[in-house]
Amino acid sequence: MYSSSVSIARDTQTNDCRGSSTLAPVRRHPTEHRILEEVVRIIDEQGEAAVRIHDLQTACDVTAPSIYHFFGSREGLVIEAQAERLVRSFDANDAIIDAQLASATSRDELREAMRSFLEIYWRPERAPIRAQRLSALGSAIGRPELIARFDQVIRDYVVDRTERLRPFQDRGWLQADFDLRFINYWMIGVLFGRVYLEFGGESGPFPEWDAITEKALEYILFGPEQVERAVAPVTDRDRSGHRQNAGGQSPNSYDRTTNRHPTESKILEEAVRVIDLHVEAAVRIHDIEVACEVTAPSIYHFFKSREGLVIEAQAERLKRSFAELDLVIDAGLHSVSSRDELRRATRSIVNLYWQPERTAVRAQRLSALGSAIGRPELSARFHEVICEYVELMSVRLEPLQERGWILPDLDLRAFNFWMMGILLGRVYIEFGGNTGPFPEWNAMTGAAIEYILFGLE
């Protein structure tokens, strides 16, 4: 089993913090372990705000000085507990992966082992593990010490998984075109992207998304000569069913603007500004009254409650993070007149997402999405926003598919959920403030997207 306990040396020649390391088990004093377990339990059930030193003294039968001796401060304790939650979300997959890999004695058996692992990974009971990880990762944004701790956990895990896959690459069963470390970063991100589908309490099955993910992983792991030349067909019945799951929107029903009363818009803008500059906790009704020159009854009229205002502000922030490149995407797709031009336009659009300034956008989105875990109303609102955007992007691509420039059997809604996930998954390699460039990760992602859209040519 994987355990986080060591630092990894930075490669000073490449400025790449994804170096090599030897993992060793964490050894904790029994009292330290007992305290940590209680804090993990509290965060899982109630959130960070419920962690109180006095309650820990009672629950663990320890003194406050003992807690500070082991963890330095309440924040130090929370950081270690959040890191432990992240480690466990990785550990939850390790036994499955190791059991599947141990049974492989050929390339074909390795492919079958990977498929078996994915079938387990897609089970409904795995969704809460992904939600837990999203919650933990989102909690780190804006907290340098926690970000650094998570960066260490992620790097340690990637090094561990890389060493476990190395023998298969040495035998020629995995393609050698890409560095295994970056393949592992990429795989973690791709699989994590399923959280978009699972918002709003959805747990699947999502056969179209699963098929796309499996095809992309096989393409990257085993090389183009080992994969079939198209994504598995999706029947009309499956396609219409997925469209309903993606929000039940008709192709023209999505409007990226919302008609709001001027006072409502003013209040919402102020709440968005406050969250952007500070955090949710900084949204105070009295401050909104002063800043917007409105009364509390007006705020409650439009948003019902402070939580209702926060939910709409967070939903607006999520919408804007999706829409930032809309004009560029529209212009790029509108100008194409052939399949080759569409392929080039796709490359240009995807490359925009790798620009250093997009790192902050992904971090903001991760923070917003993570804040929704354990809050059913906010999760439901995010689910609406996500599904509306998927519908919008799918409608953009439908004419291009009808012209035969995109594989005819590709479910566009499943593809756009997958595409959003793969772009968000880049946060794993960006933790710790590293904005790149990561040419190998970019190349893998670009190749996988083109394969899914266009097949092999």
In a domain, 102, yes or no: no
Q: At what angle do helices 207-222 and 180-192 cross, to 10 degrees?
A: 180
In a domain, 22, yes or no: no
In a domain, 298, yes or no: yes
Q: What is the CATH number of the domain that holds 247?
A: 1.10.357.10
Can you read off the two tokens belonging to residue 208?
């179209």
In a domain, 287, yes or no: yes
| pLDDT tens figures, 77-95 | 999 999 988 888 887 667 7
CA 157 to chain centre: 17
| pLDDT tens figures, 270-290 | 999 998 888 788 899 999 999
In a domain, 257, yes or no: yes
- pLDDT for the residue 234: 40
Instruction: Say how many domains are in the chain.
Output: 1
3-state secondary structure of 249: coil
| pLDDT tens figures, 221-240 | 998 866 654 334 443 333 33
The neighbour count for residue 392, using CB atoms within 10 Å, is 19
In a domain, 382, yes or no: yes
Q: How far is CA 286 from CA 62, 279, 296, 306, in A?
A: 40, 16, 7, 11
Mean pLDDT along residues 120-140? 87
In a domain, 193, yes or no: no
In a domain, 136, yes or no: no
The domain in which residue 365 lies consists of: 242-454
| pLDDT tens figures, 404-416 | 999 999 999 999 9
Are 255 and 391 contacting, i.e. CB atoms less than 8 angstroms apart? no
- pLDDT for the residue 19: 42
